Homo-oligomer: A and B are copies of this chain.
């Protein structure tokens, strides 16, 4: 259950429908996942969020698959189940193999572990790390 209604295609305003059309075109599929349906009642947020994600996740100095794995890492640390699911699926769609997925999970686990140890130890930052 969500805290807002999820909008079906029929319930979209013209402005929201235009964003859905852009999502479908960019992804090459008719499927639009629930995040966008939950956001569709706030047209300005829908437009701005889609524009931002399209720009940020596009190929650049980092390739899109690496970006999706970074997204999964952040979502995991924040405990966002939906985000872990949707971005793991996106990473798989962009070529993440089982071996890559397994390594991603081990890096996340190792990072979480030392994050905890470092914070419990309150390790001071080495001067050499200063830029």
A residues at B contact (CB < 8 Å): 1-6, 31, 33-35, 38-39, 41-42, 44-45, 48-49, 52-53, 55-57, 60-62, 66-67, 69-89, 97-126, 128-131
Contacts and interface: CB of A to CB of B under 8 A. Distances in A.
Contacts of A102: 41-42, 45, 61
B85 A122 contact: yes
Contact of A105 (B42, B76, B81, B97): B42
A79 B119 contact: yes
Report copies per complex. Answer: 6
Main secondary structure on chain A at its contact with chain B?
A: helix
B117 A109 contact: yes
A81 B117 contact: no
B66 A69 contact: yes
